[in-house]
Amino acid sequence: MIATFTDFGIPGPYLGQVHAVLNSEAPGVPVVDIFPDLPVCNIRAAAYLLPAYSQYLPENSVCLCVVDPGVGTERGAVVVRGNGRWYVGPDNGLFSILLRRASDAQAFSIDWRPAQLSSSFHGRDLFAPVAAGLARGESPPGKELDPARLLSPDWPEDLAEVVYLDRFGNAITGLRASGITTTSRIEIAGKLCEFRRTFGEAEQGVQFWYENANGLVEIALANGNAIHELGLETGTVLQVSYLQPANPE
Q: What is the DSSP string of 115-174?
A: SS--SS-HIIIIIHHHHHHHHTTPPPSS-EE-GGGG--TTS-SSEEEEEEE-TTS-EEEE
pLDDT band at 243 (very low <50, low <70, confident <90, very high): low
pLDDT tens figures, 37-80: 999 999 999 999 999 999 999 999 999 999 999 999 999 999 99
Give the strands of the sheet with 106-109, arranged side by side: 31-35, 2-6, 62-66, 85-91, 76-82, 106-109, 144-145
How many CB atoms lie under 10 A from the CB of residue 19? 16
User: For 13-36, how does the pLDDT look when each residue is reduced to its tens digit (9 = 90+)?
Assistant: 999 999 999 999 999 999 999 999
144-153 residue pLDDT tens: 999 999 999 9
Per-residue confidence at 246, pLDDT binned at 50, 70, 90? very low
Percent of the chain with pLDDT over 70: 97
Q: What is the mean pLDDT of residues 114-141?
A: 97
Q: What is the mean pLDDT of the chain?
A: 95
d(CA 202, CA 72): 48
In the prediction, which pLDDT does 242 show?
75
Instruction: State pTM to two decimals.
Output: 0.94
**What pLDDT does 218 receive?**
98
The confidence score (pLDDT) of residue 244 equals 54
- 103: confidence class by pLDDT, cuts 50, 70, 90: confident
Q: Judging by DSSP bridges, how do beta strands 238-241 and 185-188 pair with one another? A: antiparallel
Q: What pLDDT score was predicted for residue 249?
A: 46
Class of residue 17 by CB neighbours under 10 A (exposed 0-12, middle 13-18, buried 19+)? middle
Parallel, antiparallel, or unpaired: how do β-strands 62-66 and 85-91 relate?
Answer: parallel
How confident is the model over 88-93, as a mean pLDDT?
98
Domains of the chain: residue spans and CATH:
2-150 (3.40.50.10790), 159-241 (2.40.30.90)
| Per-residue pLDDT at 177 exceeds 90 | yes
